[in-house]
Structure 1
Amino acid sequence: MTEFAETVDRAFAAALYAQDDAGLDTGASVLAADPARWGGVGRELLARGEAYVRQAWERGWQPADVLRLVRRDLDGLHLEITADLVAAEARRYARLPERWTDAEVWWDEDGAYAEQLARRVKADRFTLATAVLEVMRLLIRLPSIEPVGPLPGDLTEQAHAHIEPRMLGRIRALLAKAEATTYPEEAEALSAKAQELMARHTVDEALLAARGGGPAQVPAACRIGVEPPYEEAKAVLLDAVATANRCRAVWNSGFEFSTVVGFESDLEAVELLHTSLLVQGTAAMTRAEAAQRAGGRKRTKTFRQSFLLAYASRLGRRLAETAEHTATEAADNLPALVARDVAVTSRAEEMFPRTTTTRLRGATDHAGWEDGTAAADAAHVGAGRRRPPLP
């Protein structure tokens, strides 16, 4: 064991397993005591951090999940350190799983990491050592969760059909325009066309698989962040979008994400549509608040919560109707789509054999509910046809 490893062991023994923060100061002092040894200590900390993030991956976590937790529980310096650990661990693999990380190693070599990080974030050794120990403490305390894909280095050649790149580009462009426009009718037409492309692709893919075209596919899974504020409404919206796109969503409120199970192209559709509708809903909420203020009524958190719950609830009903209409346009499509639904349901039940329902906080602001309902009606996401208002 090197002298640097011994130093890090002493710091970890003092800081990582203590129930209070007193040990953090002791551990940080051990790490930062000798400036001449700072480079070697930094190299050892980086190596330990790589091992800890690998342990997190083996427990089912992915980089975005860990970064989300660090962002919630710590601060920006810790977030940068965690991203560096992810990048350092990822460099050992020739290939990474989908949706893994785009973090890159920016430092010259590992022995220079600590000094270069100090200059980069303008922090002293003690501050950096404390932050590193807090990140390590969070990593070692992560529990096991349901894995949603292979580990880096353990990739298997599982067939997944993605949305064709040109179509994906068209969908993204349509949704971006829908988010940017201030004209409801234009946003309505753009969102409708994007949803239509997504729905048609799902039907085509199901029919191709039923006829034995292409390699056999199985459902996959991904995680989508569901973060405060108004996380309950966001989870309801995500569940509605997932259901409409023949996926299943399971919300983990404690770790602020939902796991979505479905075929890969449908997962891509869920990510795109959920993000776009959330952007549109937030913008509509801001406009509604401005209108309420102009009328002399002060808006509150209860207004925003009620607005987004109504928006998610009404959109859920509308998305379900749109999905049903698209699926039943041709009766020959139904057996292939049913087989797809069965496969997704089986995979979701295998991953989550025990789930519970959650009682949502009620919508207590009538004006917020009414405005949210109206905003959902304006966010047309059907298959290109106007529908009568819901009763």
Structure 2
Amino acid sequence: MGSRNRERRKAKQKARASRGRDQAAGPAAGPFYEERSRRELLAERIDRLVVAAMNALIDQDDAALAACVESLVATSGGPSGRRAVHRSLTGWADRSVEAAWQRGWQPVDVHRIVHRRAGPRHARLAVDAIALQMRRYAAATVDERWRAQLEALDATVWWDRDDAWLDAWGERENRDRAEVLVDTLDLLGVLNTLPEIETLCPPPGTARRDTAGHGEEDGHGDGHGVGDGHGHGRGTAAGQASGPQPDPRTNPRILDKVRALLAKAESTEFAEEAEALTAKAQELMARHSIDEALLAAAAGEGSRDAPAGCRVGIDSSYEVAKASLLDVVAEANRCRSVWSKSLGFATVIGFRPDLDAVELLYTSLLVQATAAMMTAGSRQDRAGRSRTRSFRQSFLASFAVRIGQRLMAATEQVSEQAAAEAGDGRLLPVLAARTDSVREATETMFPEIVARSVSATDREGWASGRAAADLASLLTRDEVTADPRG
């Protein structure tokens, strides 16, 4: 073989080796790739710091958390680093809120639990994170009950750019850079440790409109779930309910009339007037429930018109008595209530017109009971020590028992009148079937529920609470149904 041929072969081998090295290196032979690589490495480093910070939060390792925050602040010293930190935290917030939806949590639930575990400032940040995440979905794929909660929370994107959201929030809340990062990490820590709870309505992106205009879950049944009970900013009360909003079939004039009656009952200075107004509201809702049940039975909607569920917040102060009040209101309206203490809410199960009644009446009665309790003032024992807490606990417990008796009496009176008017024996079987449906749904979703005693150790408080219930508004019950897991 000639020397010239050998030289050509070596040249070809060298060229192939060079091409192989270039292909292995990929597009790294330019400044763009080098810059992209730096961005990717920075993003990975920030994500690792965020994960480490959340683990430190869970482990309650303050020193490790402080070190992570210090590193994040140092990383965000320049414009590019600051934007990278924002992108990472915004992405984490988006994914964390989405994961909460998939675990059964709704906007009001998230707001309530963040407020309970981290405080009002973090709850406001949670509302922003919810607004951020909800931009993903077309309006037609978001259930009407979900949209109502977003509106109640005023969950709107008010910032210009996502990478400027946390800076804008810090200015609004008067928080410095490190404090903003800690607040955001606190929120992520709460969101990423939420337990799975029962889905009460379809999560965003899965709802669709049926022919009647009601929201249903796309591919997941009829959307009538009931909660397992695991479980303020911007104009929402601590007792805000999540789950079904008022039934679209409900005559809005009835609900408006009930709200007006209860508003008068809350504001009047005359106890007899408050009693009459509250009793009238209960009678209206009880009659409406009966009418709806008969209409559904006549239309053959029994299989479709199934029990639904909603969650109602129970504040931590005197929470056992408040849960008991909700329980008796639910029972008087043919619903069941299961309290999850650790998550700060109770799940109410029933048919949607009845859930409307429970939410309206409980909210009003709690206002009336609290006002009467505060008017009663504080108490001391003979040694001068405060017994105000035991007095108020007994006051609210007694109020709940007595109010339950009066509500039940109003419901039974309306039922007897309606049965007499129907005259054909249809009503009692229909109501019995609904009661059975609610019981079965509750037992299916809460196979381990227990009855928890409501303590009332202050005789004066008990007597005062009973008197307030007699004066303020309408089965004696001294237990509240609770989820042992909560």
Q: TM-score, normalised by structure 2?
A: 0.73
Q: Which moved more, 1:342-351 or 1:203-212?
A: 342-351
Whether the aligned pair in 2 keeps the contact of 1:39 and 1:115 (CA below 8 Å) is no
- C-alpha distance in structure 1 between counterparts of 2:199 and 2:329, whole Å: 22
Are 1:11 and 2:49 counterparts?
yes
Counterpart among 142, 148, 154 of residue 96 in structure 1? 142
Q: Residue 386 of structure 1 corresponds to which residue in structure 2? A: none
How far has the Cα of 1:274 moved from its partner? 0.1
Partner residue, 2:467: 374
Task: Say if 2:185 is the partner of 1:133.
Answer: yes
Normalised by the size of structure 1, how large is the TM-score?
A: 0.90
Matches within 5 A, 1:63-102: 63-93=107-137, 94=139, 95-97=141-143, 98-99=145-146, 100-102=149-151
Deviating more after overlay: 2-11 vs 13-22: 2-11
Q: Unpaired segments of 5 or more residues in structure 1?
A: 382-391
Matched, 1:49 2:90: no
Alignment of 1:141-180 (within 5 A): 141-155=193-207, 157=216, 158=222, 161-180=248-267
1:346 equivalent in structure 2: 440
* 1:263 corresponds to: 351
Equivalent of 1:224, from 298, 312, 322? 312
d(CA) in 1 for partners of 2:398, 2:418 = 32
State the shift of 1:359 in Å.
Answer: 3.0
Q: How far apart are residue 11 of structure 1 and its match? A: 1.6
Q: How does 1:172-251 map to 2 (within 5 A)?
A: 172-212=259-299, 216-251=304-339
3-state SS of 1:329 partner: helix
CA contact (8 A) 1:7 1:31 kept: no
Q: Distance in 1 between matches of 2:263 and 2:66?
A: 48
**Aligned equivalents of 2:373 and 2:440: distance in 1?**
37
* Deviations 1:223-245 (CA, angstroms, capped at 9, x unpaired): 00011100000000001111111
Cα distance in 1 for residues equivalent to 2:136 and 2:199:
21
Q: What is the deviation of 1:210?
A: 1.1
- Distance of 2:91 and 2:300 partners within structure 1: 46
Aligned to 1:21: 62
- Whether the aligned pair in 2 keeps the contact of 1:233 and 1:309 (CA below 8 Å) is yes
Contact 1:43–1:114 (CA under 8 A) maintained in structure 2: no
Q: Which of 290, 296, 302 is residue 390 of structure 2 equivalent to?
A: 302
Superposed CA deviations along residues 39-60 of structure 1, whole A, max 9, x for unmatched, are: 3422331121111111112112
Instruction: State the one-letter code of the partner of 2:457.
Output: T
Q: Deviations over 1:154-174 (max 9, x none)?
A: 225349554321211111111
**1:363 corresponds to 2:451:** no
How far 1:3 sits from its partner (Å)? 5.0
Quote the offset at 1:114 in angstroms: 1.9
Deviation at 1:380? 2.7
Structure 1 residue aligned with 2:173? 121
How far did residue 10 of structure 1 move? 2.2
Q: Structure 1 172/8 Cα, relative in aligned 2: closer, same or farther at 3 Å?
A: farther
CA 1:201 to 1:122, structure 2 compared with 1: closer, same or farther past 3 Å? same
Q: Give the secondary structure class of the aligned counterpart of 1:2.
A: helix
- Aligned equivalents of 2:40, 2:171: Cα separation in 1: 26
Runs of at least 4 residues off by over 4 Å: 158-162
SS at match of 1:250: strand
> Helix, strand or coil: the match of 1:336?
helix
Deviation by residue 1:12-46 (Cα, 9 ceiling, x = unmatched): 23211231222221222232222423234223311
Q: Is the 8 A contact 2:283 2:411 kept in 1?
A: no
Contact 1:289/1:299 (8 A) holds in 2: no
Range 298-307 or range 199-208, more displaced: 298-307
Q: Which has the higher contact order (CA 8 A, sep 6+)?
A: 1
Give the secondary-structure state (helix, strand or coil) at the position aligned to 1:42: helix
What amino acid sits opposite 1:203 in the alignment? I
Question: CA 1:359–1:195 in structure 2 vs 1: closer, same or farther (change >3 Å)?
Answer: closer
Quote the Cα distance in structure 2 between the aligned partners of 1:212 and 1:44. 53
Which of 243-252 and 181-190 deviates more?
Answer: 181-190
Once residues 354 and 121 of structure 2 are traced to their aligned partners in structure 1, the CA distance between those partners, rounded to angstroms, is 36
Read off the aligned partner of 1:338 and give its amino acid letter: A
Distance 2:188 2:296 in 1: 45
Instruction: Check if 1:38 corresponds to 2:79.
Output: no
In structure 2, what residue type is equivalent to 1:131? D
8 Å Cα contact 1:4-1:41 kept in structure 2: no
Offset from partner CA, 1:276-322 (integer Å, 9 cap, x none): 000000011112227x79xxx96511111110011011112222222
Gap runs ≥5 in structure 2: 1-38, 209-215, 217-221, 225-246, 420-424, 475-486
In the TM superposition, what is the alpha-carbon distance from 1:324 to its structure 2 partner? 2.2
Alignment of 1:277-296 (within 5 A): 277-289=365-377
Question: 1:180/1:61 Cα in 2 relative to 1: closer, same or farther (>3 Å)?
Answer: same
Q: Do structure 1's residue 337 and structure 2's residue 378 form an aligned pair?
A: no
TM-aligned CA deviation for residue 214 of structure 1: 6.9
Q: Is the 8 A contact 1:4 1:44 kept in 2?
A: no
Larger displacement relative to structure 2 (157-166 or 20-29): 157-166
SS at 1:116 equivalent: helix
Partners in 2 of 1:4 and 1:178 — Cα distance? Answer: 61
Tell me, what secondary structure is at the counterpart of 1:16?
helix
Do the aligned partners of residues 281 and 261 (structure 1) sit closer, same or farther apart at CA in structure 2, a change above 3 Å counting?
Answer: same
Mean CA deviation greater in 259-268 or 331-340: 331-340
